Amino acid sequence: MDQKVAELLNQQINKEFYSAYLYLELSVYYEENDLDGFANWYMVQTQEERDHAMLMIQYLQKNSAPVTLDTVEKPEVKLGNVKDPLVVAAQHEKYVTGLINNIYDAAYQAKDFRTMQFLDWFVKEQAEEEKTADGLVKKYDLFGTDPKGLYLLDQELAARTYAAPTLTV
């Protein structure tokens, strides 16, 4: 595998674990603020991010490329109200989309078609994640400022369950 592409994938493993850690922070915030549905939502999201990292590890291993694990940064986010984590998540997913696109571009430059195929799933996944994260901010603005609306939104988010990724490496 092209060395730069392998390096970027290694860096992305760390970013995905950071995403898991960030969403865990959001889940903890909601749990402490008695919004169990929101907490559940981000706990499931944490699991999904861990899966993203694991898929990248498996992909590198299948291609006999070295896997380098690095320190996962502490999430430094200011959470002052119920909406803040939703905005943090929406901004974070846009940032991750940029990272995935950057790896895709490196793979394209290196004519690494196998990695491009692998990343196709992540490109689609990012479109979904951005849409969902933006959608939650919009839903909060529409319903979340009313106590009854917030209660119902919390119930809706409580229903989210974890599903293993559809991608196999």
Q: Which residues bind ligand FEO (CB under 6 A)?
A: 16, 19, 49, 52, 93, 96, 129
Residue 106, exposed/middle/buried by CB under 10 A (0-12, 13-18, 19+)? buried
* Min separation Cβ 149 and ligand FEO, Å: 26
* Min separation Cβ 41 and ligand FEO, Å: 13
What does the block give as tokens for 166? Answer: 């559809």
Q: Cα separation of 156 and 147, whole Å?
A: 14
Q: How wide is the angle at C-alpha 99 spanned by C-alphas 82 and 132, nearest 5°?
A: 35
* Min separation Cβ 158 and ligand FEO, Å: 20
Is the Cβ of residue 53 or residue 116 nearer to ligand FEO in the bound state? 53
What does the block give as tokens for 130? Answer: 């951005």
Q: Which residue has the closest beta carbon to ligand FEO?
A: 52
Is the Cβ of residue 3 or residue 131 nearer to ligand FEO in the bound state? 131
Q: Are 90 and 130 in contact (CB under 8 A)?
A: yes
Is the Cβ of residue 123 or residue 152 nearer to ligand FEO in the bound state? 123
* Min separation Cβ 111 and ligand FEO, Å: 25
Q: Cα separation of 118 and 49, whole Å?
A: 16
* Min separation Cβ 156 and ligand FEO, Å: 20
Q: Cα separation of 147 and 30, whole Å?
A: 15
Is the Cβ of residue 25 or residue 49 nearer to ligand FEO in the bound state? 49
Is the Cβ of residue 95 or residue 113 nearer to ligand FEO in the bound state? 95
